[in-house]
Structure 1
């Protein structure tokens, strides 16, 4: 059982620990965040919360049953009814369906709470697990491109209008 929560100020320490513990693992499939990210994490966290308050991004932490951060799932660049989905799961939590469940919840929130009509997502060609998560959640391959000189795939997913009627 997992819980997806909007990013809050009190998530900072747990999120930093999550990012540090998984830095090498994440760098195998996405560009490393670099030392500056970790050195200035408090400022970066505050900036993310400010973006969220402005409504341009929606950041989430994914907690396991013990309340530990095991993943994050984000919707960035909200504009014109769409956003880009991004996620990362701790190495110790892979293979348990956490990514699929978190992405499904992010899609639900995007449609019901954030009023979005479409999502895009990107993964590298050499990350079949991420491709499977996206496909399982209704994303369809849109095109191939280079991401930091690596072959990558862009996916798209339309969202139904699930906002409650007034």
Structure 2
């Protein structure tokens, strides 16, 4: 599937809000809920402006994963960029209709290409839960090195989980 990574823009707010609403239940199976207030458009828009401000200040890069028709398939974020150490932290989510189709892997490949070209970040850290095998595969397929499993346990959706930590280093 042909797809692109486009930096988050306010012009995408309505489509992104719909994407988040349509995938709320699906996302909450694997990540903590964002809270009901997030799904009020005014609150969502306010948070979106904050993200765009962060992006403009170079603290984070927020991308939308889009298909050739410009439909939003997911999100991919490089956050908490530590410029002095050239390190960023990865986060991503793909909508339910698009899961299991290689979209996260391809989008991450595109992000790593952008990151290598821009040279701002030389290392990306990521983590996923021990039960999220699909996310572990996406990271490993794209050259992320598995570092360790956290000692801390989180209780989420009735299950005790730990985090698997990864890093990617530019060549």
TM normalised by structure 1 equals 0.92
* d(CA) in 2 for partners of 1:122, 1:130: 9
Q: Does 1:90 align with 2:103?
A: no
- For residue 151 of structure 1, report the CA deviation from its aligned partner: 1.4
Deviates more, 1:143-152 or 1:55-64: 143-152
Superimposed CA distance per residue, residues 126-145 of structure 1 (whole angstroms, 9 cap, x where no aligned partner): 11100000000000111212
Where structure 2 has 5 or more consecutive residues not aligned to the other structure, the ranges are 156-160
Residue 55 (1) aligns with residue 58 (2): yes
In structure 2, the partner of 1:153 is 164
Cα deviation digits, residues 36-72 of structure 1 (max 9, x gap): 2222101000000000000000000011122110011
TM-align CA RMSD: 1.2
Between 145-154 and 114-123, report the one with greater CA deviation.
Answer: 145-154
Structure 1 gaps of 5+ residues are 161-166
Identify which of 60, 65, 68 aligns with 1:65. 68
Q: Secondary structure at the match of 1:31?
A: coil
Rounded to whole Å, the distance in 1 between the matches of 2:6 and 2:123 is: 21
1:1-166 alignment to 2 at 5 Å? Answer: 1-39=2-40, 40-79=43-82, 80-145=85-150, 146=152, 148-149=154-155, 150-160=161-171
Task: Return structure 1 stretches of 4+ with deviation > 6 angstroms.
Answer: none
Note closer, same or farther for the CA distance 1:147–1:25 as it changes in structure 2 (3 Å cut).
Answer: farther
State the match for 1:164 in structure 2. none
Distance 1:41 1:55 in 2: 21
Number of residue pairs the alignment of both structures matches: 160
Output the CA distance in 1 between the equivalents of 2:7 and 2:66.
11
Partner of 1:163: none
